[in-house]
Amino acid sequence: MFAQLLREDRVIIDLKAKDKEEVLQELLSVLNLKPEQEKIVLEQLKKREAIGSTGVGRGVAIPHTRSVVVDDVQLVVGVSKGGIDFQSLDGKPVHLFFLLIAPPQDLGARYLITLGEIANVARKVVSTKEYLNFETSKELMEYLMKIYREA
């Protein structure tokens, strides 16, 4: 699933956002949702963050939610070279973001499968932080695909 969802145009190599809300907006922006859809998903992501940060620690966050306004599972990857305070479990800034959005009902539990695959990739990349070194979205995408295939 991860491999099917990972697309070059949905990989942001150098996030400009400075805080939590900005980064959620920046990640969402590449999905080209209608403004009312983007607003609904953003609110839902913020609600999810309010119950507990999806900053899972070691520089990684996996903001995620479900909403009927998207008709399929959507993945966006973003890297912040400077890091963003995401109120992570370990209190450290987040550099690597995996935004995952899915409809409430998705056939074949693709959302949970993808979430598991993201977690596997994240576990592999946190130690080296090599993901910070890439200059283009394509390079980062190919790196993540390589890690995914090895995971």
Partner 1 sequence: MDPILEMLIALESLDAELEDFESEEYRNSINITQSASDEVFSQQIDKLKELREEVVRSLPIAIYKRYQRLREKYKRGVAPVVNGICANCFMEFPSALVSRPVKNKSLETCPNCGIYVYWTK
Residues found near partner 1 in the complex (CB under 8 A): 36, 40, 43-44, 47-48, 50-52, 54, 56-58, 60, 62, 64-69, 71, 89-90, 103-105, 111-112, 115-116, 118-119, 122-123, 126
Q: Report the candidate in 114, 119, 142, 120 with the shortest Cα–Cα distance to residue 130.
A: 142
Is the separation of the CB atoms in 85 and 65 below 8 Å?
no
* SS3 track for 32-62: CCCHHHHHHHHHHHHHHHHHCCCEEECCEEC
Given the residues 20, 58, 64, 95, the one annotated as active site: 64
Q: Indicate the Cα dihedral angle 94, 100, 101, 107, nearest 10°.
A: -160
The radius of gyration of the chain from alpha carbons, rounded to an integer in Å, stands at 14
Instruction: Return the number of the residue (83 or 103) whose C-beta is nearest partner 1.
Output: 103
Catalytic residue flag (residue 64): yes
Instruction: Return the number of the residue (53 or 80) whose C-beta is nearest partner 1.
Output: 53
Q: What is the smallest separation between the CB atom of 136 and partner 1, expressed in angstroms? A: 26
Instruction: Return the number of the residue (129 or 139) whose C-beta is nearest partner 1.
Output: 129
User: So which residues are the catalytic ones?
Assistant: 64
